[in-house]
Amino acid sequence: MSEFTHEIAKPGNLPLAIAIAGYAKSGKTKSALRLAKGIQQARGGDIWFIDTENRAHEYGDQFVFQRVPFAPPFAPQRFHAAIKYAYDNGARIIVIDSMSDEHDGEGGLLDQHENFLRDKLNGAEPTEGDRGRFGQQGWARVKPGRKRLENYIRRLRDFEDVVFILCYRATMKYVPKTKDDKLRMAAGEARQDPTDVQWEVSSTSDVPFICSVSLLLVPGESGTPILKATTEAEKKLILRTDTYGPYLQTVKQLDESVGRKLYELAKGSARASSATQQPRVPGRGPNFHKDYPGAKGPVNAASAAERVAYLEWLVGIGGSGEAFENHCAYVQKLIEDDMAAEAERALEGAAE
């Protein structure tokens, strides 16, 4: 008898992991706790906070959470142990601030690699030649610990319903224009990246890229996400699957409502609730914005593809005010209904 079974795929019951990257003082820690509180409202359980920066106490009067102090060394093996400790004690919502310490913190992966080289050279400072000769050997020695950590996070996320919110430090670096860039600019051609400032995250781990949602915060703001990537570097840091993308395009601030909504989308409850509402009547409801270059007339009479394009246009113009936000929310709701209806049709077709 086979150990495997099969079933018709259904929306929902998805794992959820969120990565938050941002410059210093961009609101990563508080945003992570607000998202965690919203997720807690939807699923229950305690919030656990693995604190490598020894500053989570700052928010102890605003949020209720279990804090796990985590001092150096920040080896991947110790991150693995800290997560296991939290999980074994019942944690199902785990915030880690900062996962960047696993990479470049004291005793992190970079330090482990440097120590390997020094041991190889009997304590001498490695030269560039030494790094060329022994560098790959060093990475082969230290990276298995990181890979075990990544696999452990994936297993808890995928099969044990643990929600992770992982914070990463991000910095901006100046990328000089190349000769080709200058020639294109002189010719009036757009560059691939419209700015010389690029983001760089303090990590080379694959964990941010296996997260369901990856958010980049605006520098100097308090938890404001960058909604639309404008450079290649930003495109690598702002990741959204089809499940969360339409909703996140309208988010102006990371708060409890966003955490709750992301969890509901992951588990399918948000889609299910929208599918049970009264059907839309073509010809009623708000019209497209008067300046929109596409379809005209009622938004709910348009095609699903046109509604998605329209929402992208609304986000792009960056309107403000309660009326504009309500209109965006209305279009977003129509898109969610479209997604639920499409999933229901797929299930009905499969059943036939």
Query: In the prediction, which pLDDT does 194 show?
Result: 45
Query: In the prediction, which pLDDT does 274 show?
Result: 38
Give me the mean pLDDT over the 282-290 stretch. 73
Tell me the C-alpha to C-alpha distance, in Å, between residue 205 and each of 57, 114, 240: 27, 17, 18
Is residue 75 situated within a structural domain?
Answer: yes
What domain range includes position 51? 17-267
Residue that finishes a domain, picked among 267, 300, 322: 267
Tens digits of residue pLDDT in 109-157: 999 999 999 999 999 999 999 999 999 999 999 999 999 999 999 999 9
Q: Is the CA virtual torsion 105, 106, 110, 112 positive or negative?
A: negative
Residues 258 and 283 in one domain: no
Give me the mean pLDDT over the 15-30 stretch. 91
Please tell me which of 22-36, 211-225, 272-286, 333-347 the model is most confident about, judged by mean pLDDT: 22-36
Tens digits of residue pLDDT in 150-204: 999 999 999 999 999 999 998 877 666 666 655 555 655 544 454 556 777 888 8
Give me the mean pLDDT over the 282-299 stretch. 80
Tens digits of residue pLDDT in 256-276: 999 999 999 998 876 433 333
Residues 181 and 301 in one domain: no
Residues 339 and 200 in one domain: no
Higher pLDDT, 321 or 194: 321
Within 8 A by CB and 6+ apart from 109, the residues are 75, 76, 102, 103, 142, 143, 145, 146, 204
Is residue 339 situated within a structural domain?
Answer: yes
Is residue 5 situated within a structural domain?
Answer: no
Query: In the prediction, which pLDDT does 252 show?
Result: 87
Is residue 272 situated within a structural domain?
Answer: no
Higher pLDDT, 138 or 320: 138
Residues 212 and 110 in one domain: yes
What does the alpha-carbon distance between residue 154 and residue 141 come to, in Å, rounded to a whole number?
22
Is residue 3 situated within a structural domain?
Answer: no
Please tell me which of 4-13, 264-273, 317-326 the model is most confident about, judged by mean pLDDT: 4-13
Residues 130 and 201 in one domain: yes
Domain of 120, CATH number, reads 3.40.50
Residues 292 and 225 in one domain: no
- Residue 46 scores a pLDDT above 90: yes
Residues 44 and 178 in one domain: yes
Q: Which residue do the tokens 């599918």 mark?
A: 275
Number of domains in the chain: 2
Give me the mean pLDDT over the 12-16 stretch. 89
Residues 293 and 170 in one domain: no
Is residue 10 situated within a structural domain?
Answer: no
Residues 162 and 311 in one domain: no
- Residue 279 scores a pLDDT above 50: no
Query: In the prediction, which pLDDT does 270 show?
Result: 63
Give me the mean pLDDT over the 270-291 stretch. 57
Residues 320 and 175 in one domain: no
Give me the mean pLDDT over the 64-90 stretch. 97
Is residue 262 situated within a structural domain?
Answer: yes
Is residue 24 situated within a structural domain?
Answer: yes
- In this structure, are residues 334 and 300 in contact, taking their beta carbons and an 8 Å threshold? yes
What does the alpha-carbon distance between residue 157 and residue 91 come to, in Å, rounded to a whole number?
12
Residues 120 and 208 in one domain: yes
Give me the mean pLDDT over the 278-290 stretch. 63
Query: In the prediction, which pLDDT does 336 show?
Result: 78
Query: In the prediction, which pLDDT does 175 show?
Result: 63
Q: Amino acid identity, residue 166?
A: L
Residues 284 and 177 in one domain: no
- Residue 19 scores a pLDDT above 90: yes
What does the alpha-carbon distance between residue 293 and residue 313 come to, in Å, rounded to a whole number?
9
- Residue 222 scores a pLDDT above 90: no
Query: In the prediction, which pLDDT does 187 show?
Result: 57
Mean pLDDT of the chain: 84
Query: In the prediction, which pLDDT does 349 show?
Result: 62
Residue that finishes a domain, picked among 247, 267, 287: 267
Query: In the prediction, which pLDDT does 40 show?
Result: 95
Residue that finishes a domain, picked among 233, 267, 301: 267
